[in-house]
Amino acid sequence: MKVIVVGAGVVGTMHAWHAVNRGHEVVQIERESEARGASLRNFGQIWVSGRAGGEELDTALRARELWEGIGAEVPGLGFRPCGSLTPLRTGLEVAVAEAAVARDDAAARGYKLVTADEARALNPALRGTFGSALWCERDAAVEPRTAQLALKQALLASGRYAYLGGREVREVVGAASVRDDHGDVHTGDAVILATGAWLGGLVRELAGPGLPVRRVRLQMMQTDPLGERLTTSVADADSFRYYPAYGGPALDALNDGQPQAPTASAHRMQLLMVQRLDGGLTIGDTHEYEHPFPFDTVEEPYEHLTGVVESFLGRPLPRIRHRWAGVYAQCTDPGRVVHRRQVADGVWLVTGPGGRGMTCSPAIAEQTADELGW
């Protein structure tokens, strides 16, 4: 078969990966010279721990397995099975962690409630004050700013893959056939529109009104090298409020009895932190849902996150060297991991994994390949 993939973010690139590895020819088209969207502007975390039970967790666990296998083939991904720790300081926070550890699927996630000393044995950089921590062994990480480039180089080596950057697909002109803004027509056996947060233009035209996908804006930052290893990813207890795995009476009690700090509440914040291979820390994040999004980044969230991180590390942060905002597409259908449907003859739209894109993309693309009989 010949597969046309529109979009070079992680979802599109994983579709290209599966197609090539199943023996097919792929042409991947990207409107920028290289991907520049949410696939690069994220933590690079393979975040199994907070996923909803059922289909979402199954997808994340399958993706975690695929990431590890692809990482062995493509060392440039920087895959590492680092796990995550969420330090806990109050009884209400501990109760949420205890409820998580009591879940039927806790073993699949690698949940374990550990003491402060056990947490520091796992991650010696955590020298701040806390009483215990939730350990999630199945969480992992890759390098988001270079992952797509590393995958592209591996795909090019196959001899069955072509990359066309700086081209925007404008219209469908026949069965599995699209025209780009250079006037070139690309025809295959299937077209995959993996356009991320770009939901206008051709996507709006094909999907029509009522597309169950919204755009979400976030703010993040990255530091100079820490000077020591942060051996696990790190979250704070506010992250419990944003992931479905932690829902239940214990979380309700946390929300009622321990409200978020005003800045964290105003910007819908949680701490997630992972160390890059160069030693710097990627730290975030915020959530903004109301359109139009502001065009500026604001300082209060960064100040809040800095305080939280320093309280866990027991030391000042290195200099902040990057601050940025990003926008991703999030499916709003309850229980759906991604919005996937045929929008024209031979053309499928795959969008809206939201904050699950980096985690779940290999399994999302595998499911598309299976459904389309590649």
pLDDT band at residue 65 under the 50/70/90 scheme: very high
- Over residues 53-63, mean pLDDT: 97
Whole-number Cα distances in Å, 257 to 125, 149, 194, 237, 249? 30, 46, 42, 13, 12
Q: What is the per-residue pLDDT across 287-331, written as a single tens digit (0 to 9) for each?
A: 999 989 999 999 999 999 999 999 999 999 999 999 999 999 999
What is the model's pLDDT at position 277?
A: 97
Q: What is the mean pLDDT of residues 70-99?
A: 98
Confidence of residue 12 (pLDDT cuts 50, 70, 90): very high
pLDDT beyond 90 at 334: no
Contact 365, 14 (CB under 8 A): yes
Q: Is the pLDDT of residue 150 over 90?
A: yes
Tell me, what's the pLDDT at 8?
96
Residue 107 has pLDDT above 90, yes or no: yes
Tokens for 364? 């999302």
What six digits make up the tokens of 44? 């690079």
The pLDDT of residue 335: 83
Q: What is the pLDDT of residue 260?
A: 97
Say whether pLDDT at 81 is over 90: yes
Backbone angles phi, psi at 77, to 5 degrees: -65, -25
Q: What are 32's two structure tokens?
A: 């920028």
The fraction of the chain above a pLDDT of 90, given in percent, is 97
Distances (CA, A) of 340 to 69, 101, 175, 211, 298: 25, 32, 18, 11, 34
Q: How many CB atoms lie within 10 A of CB 319?
A: 9
What's the whole-number mean pLDDT along residues 275-295?
Answer: 95
* pLDDT tens for each residue of 248-259: 999 999 999 999
C-alpha–C-alpha distance, residues 59 and 239, integer Å: 20
- The DSSP annotation for 63-124 comes to HHHHHHHHHHH-GGG--B---EEEEE-SHHHHHHHHHHHTSTTHHHHTEEEEEHHHHHHH-T
- Judge contact between 140 and 70, C-beta under 8 A: no
C-alpha dist (Å) from residue 187 to 1, 106, 150, 190, 366: 11, 46, 26, 8, 22
- Which domains does the chain possess? 2-41+145-212+336-372 (3.50.50.60), 84-137+213-331 (3.30.9.10)
Q: Which residues pair with 68 in a beta bridge?
A: none
Half-sphere exposure of 312 (CA within 13 A, CB side): 29
Q: Is the pLDDT of residue 188 over 90?
A: yes
